Structure 1
Amino acid sequence: MTESSAAAVTNSGGTTADPRRWAALAVIAAAQLLVVLDASVVNIALPSAQQALGMSDVAKQWVVTGYSLAFGGLLLLGGRMADLHGRKRMFIGGLVGFAVASAVGGLAENTATLLTARAAQGAFAAFLAPAGLALLVTTFTDPGERGRAFGIFGAAVGTGGVVGMVLGGVLTDLGSWRWCLLINVPVVAVIVIAALKLLGESKISGPVRYDLPGTLTATFGVGSLIYGISLAVESGWDSPWTISFIALGIVLLIAFVLIEKRSKAPMMPLRIVRDRVRGTGYAVVFLIGGALYAFYLFLTYYLQVVQDYSPLRTGLAFVPIGVGIFIGSMVAGRLLGKMSAKGVVLTGLGAGVLGIGWLGLLQPDTGFWTVVMPAQLIVGLGIGAALTTVMKLTLDGVDHNDAGVASALTNAMREIGGAVGISALNVVAISVTAASGVIDDSSLTDGYAVAFVVSAAVLAVAALLTAFAAKSAEQV
């Protein structure tokens, strides 16, 4: 499936393996880090960009939402195109497009140009991300090596958001908000050069056939769902527009499933999600995304609004969870050869529940080093281990012809879960704060604390799914 001009070596499974696979993994992980990083790197730079371009508050929100909407809406299409036309080709094409969009955004002189560039970044990321993950799956065929490879990949995914916040603060403070986008250009150039030399091509054998009805319903269904959820943050869950877009998204996704049942060349073969272990894994990824994205949001609010942290100090304050995720992901990659995946996931989710639940005790004067830092470290260790393992489970055993779309579904579930988590828990935090009748540091902290407790409960539900919905203790 994967072509390489280098001499092959034999892995423990008795099949040939590309001797450059670990270097190729570094390229894939670096690209994934860039995709995740860029979703958060502009957050801290937004106030400066808003002032420089004269953006309204609504337009400012679309700098973030536009990226997420394009990324989430086009993921399944990007994954299927990688399967059909070649994962390496889509990976490199996505990188080049991402760099061009970054350059346009970094040089933008008005709001419309910046918003268009951010949406283009998300669109190209939707073709890049599933292609990279599919290349990992097709490159590492040995179970032991694949576990370690997913550990490294999971570290890149998990730490990307934290690196983005720190980098955004540094670049904005020392230079300009524009560098949060322009820095992608030289980084992508290095990754593309390495990818051309190190990655082998893989794709579906046989004729290329498109499922146009499935493509349209999946793309617009996921896009409408994410957009509707994002509207809930501003307009509330009872807003007619929120309800309409969410309902439309659900209807389109139901139509998508019905179309895929009958299609001779389905965009997403339903066999991918019918497997009980894999289906459970996608649900757990959704729940982890919801809890983790909300965790980042409310801790940022607490540090900046209640404790008056500067943007740069806020970014640096998230280093502990980044370190925890990195260590947890790497340890999980090693543990998968020594204990069951189910044990790794449950241990990781248990640590996540403990760490996020601990922040339910927050007070306006809670110390960073005594509570916030150790809680972050525990959350990072747990989520790093659990998410890395679950991502591997969602792709283990997938037919190589379906690797791209299966990878895209993993990314889509995390993205949709994050959108739902932020919107739903934002309602919880606002309701608790409003119930006090006074908006001050104490009532705001109470709202954030309850949101953390609910986030911990979401992870507990993920743990229950892991424990009871798997085929056997050996498989999950």
Structure 2
Amino acid sequence: MSTPTATAPTTTTTRPGLVLTVVCLCQLMVVLDITVVNVALPSIRDDLGFRPADLPWVVNAYTLTFGGLLLLGGRVADLFGQRTAAIAGLSVFGLTSLAGGLAGEPGQLIAARGLQGVAGALLLPVSLTVITTSFAEGPDRRRALGVWAAVMGVGGAAGVLLGGALTEWLDWRWVFFVNVPIAVVAVPLAMASIRNLHRGRPRLDIVGAVLVTGATTALVYAVVRTDRHAWDSAHTLGLLGLALVLGVLFLVVEARFAREPLVRLGLLRQRSLAVASVLVFFIALGQFGAFYLASMYLQNVLHYSPLQAGLAFVPFSLGTVVGTMVGMRLVAARGPWLPVLLGLGLTAVGIGWFGAIRPDGAFVTDMLGPSLLASVGLGTCLVANTSMGTTGVDPAEAGLASGMLNAARQIGGSIGLAVLVTVAGSVTRNHDGAPLVALNAGYARGFLVSGCLIAVATVICLVAAPRDARSAVRRT
């Protein structure tokens, strides 16, 4: 098995502010897009004449290509250079966003969304890769990761607000058009600031790329189609089985046959990266679904407008920023394990607290407290977990490590959303109360399950943490 090719050592960039600006713009485009489109779906349906069965593909087309190609996208950044990957991703994302906003029929919009997902699969890993190869380990990288994590946390919540405002004040097409000026600004900045780390002649493991892309795509497709096929149906089980077979074949090819593996399996034995990937998977299992349930509760139970629902996420965004700042300080003072543990615990309690929502509730009494607690915890653990996962990674494999972390997050989020929607829907259907009471009961159960999933991550972290980190938690 080949080892990573040596590259220039990672040093602090001479243009840190400019590099960080580009990285955050890449991150912002992708993270916003995950939530901003959801609010506009009813308007898209009415304007373009989507059939009810086809409307979910506005989201699914993006999710499939994005989730299926993240690992490959991270490796492309390693092989062909971060600047090349960033410029390609930004350009394609901007052009496909323009195409989506100009779409005149359902098929055109779905095609544009699928290509957007391809671009996103390049952008999200490269944004983290640039940080790990441009900022030396220590205070510089911690600050950069803190800003990056804050954009990720705030962007997810802000997408709901932006989507509601654009749809209500302008038109649904602006949820796509808004990406175009960001890309126009970011492309020349990327050309001027991001370095390409060359590894000589790039060689891509085609067989491995096909197998891992097929495995992740089959897994994500199986999950997103549980809205039509039950979890125990032949359709779902068959696709999950296909994903498992392709995944096993991928590991065999990488271990025995690939001259330059897409994934050097020895990287998986790096404890901090392996644990961080597992933790971000479980965080996303609970987080993505909780965002969706909160939006549905605000609009379907409390009868908020899309814009009002977006404004209700502002405290969550502010709490995430505070949590990120706390996490950065704790990582600098105590290392990453303690803030990950503390952040996960706060997030689990906060999201579980959402389970106390009431049909006749209000934002201040039912949403504000858990929003603040969960957001501070999430910001704290995300920045610390990302720092833990990228520490000690060879610059030649920084893109791959970034792809692993982001793929774990996206796959976990897709599975978690499908599971929590299923749980909420089942409780609502089997509830004997009035429709609004039944709907509230379903959302409340979903929040409790979400909190439990993040509590599992807390236990995993506690078990995997070194002895000195566990002692620090007991003293805290």
The reply to whether TM is greater than 0.5 is: yes
Q: 1:392 deviation in Å?
A: 1.7
Q: Secondary structure at the match of 2:393?
A: coil
> Residue 393 of structure 2 is aligned with which of 380, 398, 403?
398
Query: Per the alignment, in what secondary structure is the counterpart of residue 55 of structure 2?
Result: helix
Tell me the equivalent position of 1:372: 367
- 2:388 & 2:80 partners in 1: Cα distance? 25
Distance 1:331 1:81 in 2: 33
Task: Give the match's secondary structure for 1:436.
Answer: coil
Match of 1:270 in 2: 265
What is the CA distance between 1:431 and its match in structure 2?
2.3
Unaligned runs of 5+ in 2: 1-5
Structure 2 residue aligned with 1:9: none
How many angstroms does 1:63 deviate by?
A: 0.5
Cα contact 1:231–1:241 (8 A) shared by 2: no
TM-superposed CA distance for 1:472, in Å, is: 4.6
Q: Compute the displacement of 1:140 (Å).
A: 0.9
Asked if 1:167 corresponds to 2:162, the answer is: yes
Deviation at 1:474, TM superposition (A): 5.2
Q: Does residue 338 in structure 1 map to residue 338 in structure 2?
A: no
Q: Following the alignment from structure 1 to structure 2, what is the Cα–Cα distance between the partners of residues 132 and 81?
A: 13
Pairwise CA distance, 1:426: 1.9
For 2:46, the equivalent position in structure 1 comes to 51
What's the secondary structure of 2:360's corresponding residue?
A: coil
Q: What CA distance in whole angstroms lies between the structure 2 residues aligned with 1:89 and 1:59?
A: 35
The alpha-carbon deviation at position 16 of structure 1 amounts to: 4.9
Within the candidate set 247, 253, 262, 1:253 is matched to 247
SS in structure 1 at match of 2:53: helix
Q: 1:218 to 1:53 in 2, by over 3 A?
A: same
Question: Are positions 1:299 and 2:294 aligned together?
Answer: yes
Query: Which stretch shifts more, 325-334 or 293-302?
Result: 325-334
**Does the 8 Å CA contact 1:277/1:471 hold for their aligned counterparts?**
no
Task: Report what 2:71 is aligned to.
Answer: 76
- Say yes or no: does 1:237 pair with 2:237: no
Alignment of structure 1 residues 42-441 onto 2, 5 Å: 42-203=37-198, 205-262=199-256, 263-438=258-433, 440-441=435-436
Q: 2:392 and 2:347 mapped to 1: Cα distance?
A: 27
Query: Over residues 173-228 of structure 1, what are the superposed CA-to-partner deviations in whole Å (9 max), with x where a residue is unaligned?
Result: 1111111101211111111122222222224x233222111100100110110010
Shift of 1:461: 0.9
| 1:247-281 Cα shifts (integer Å, max 9, x gaps) | 21121112111211112211011122212222111
Task: Report the alpha carbon displacement of residue 286 of structure 1 after superposing the two structures with TM.
Answer: 0.2
CA contact (8 A) 2:150 2:320 kept: yes
Alpha-carbon deviation of 1:338?
A: 0.9
Aligned 8 A contact 1:356 1:456 in 2: yes
Q: What is the CA–CA distance in structure 2 between the aligned matches of 1:379 and 1:213, rounded to whole Å?
A: 42
| Amino acid in structure 1 at the alignment position of 2:176 | L
Cα distance, 1:340 vs. partner? Answer: 2.7
Supply the distance in 1 between the matched residues of 2:435 and 2:17 (Cα, whole angstroms): 52
Structure 2 CA distance for partners of 1:49 and 1:15, relative to 1, 3 Å:
closer
**Counterpart for residue 11 of structure 1:** none
Which deviates more from structure 2 when the two are superposed, residues 261-270 or residues 411-420? Answer: 261-270
Q: CA deviation at 1:142?
A: 3.0
Q: How far apart are 1:145 and its partner, in Å?
A: 1.6
Tell me, in whole angstroms, the C-alpha distance in 1 between the residues paired with 2:348 and 2:267.
29
Contact 2:254–2:262 (Cα < 8 Å) also in 1: yes
Give SS of 1:336's match. Answer: helix
Deviations for 1:16-75, whole angstroms, at most 9, x for unmatched residues? 532312321121012101111012111111111111100012221010111111111111
Cα distance in 1 between the residues matched to 2:87 and 2:10: 27
Question: 1:386 & 1:24 partners in 2: Cα distance?
Answer: 24
User: 1 CA distance for matches of 2:393 and 2:113?
Assistant: 32
Paired with 1:424 and 1:110, the residues of 2 have a C-alpha distance of 31
Conserved? CA contact 1:276–1:470, under 8 Å = no
State how far apart, in whole Å, the 1-side matches of 2:118 and 2:106 are.
18
1:462 aligned partner, one-letter code? A
**CA distance, structure 2, for counterparts of residue 409 and residue 327 of structure 1:** 27
Question: Percent sequence identity over matched residues?
Answer: 38
Shift of 1:439: 5.7
Does the 8 A contact of 1:78 with 1:408 survive in 2?
A: yes
**In structure 2, how many angstroms separate the alpha carbons of the residues matched to 1:459 and 1:71?**
24
Q: 1:40 aligns with which of 35, 44, 53?
A: 35
Aligned partner of residue 56 in structure 2, secondary structure = helix
Conserved? CA contact 1:2–1:138, under 8 Å: no
* Matched AA of 1:25: L
Alpha-carbon offset, residue 468 of structure 1: 0.9
RMSD between superposed Cα atoms in Å: 1.8
- Give the conservation status (yes or no) of the 8 Å contact 2:231–2:237: yes
Corresponding letter in the other structure for 2:364: W
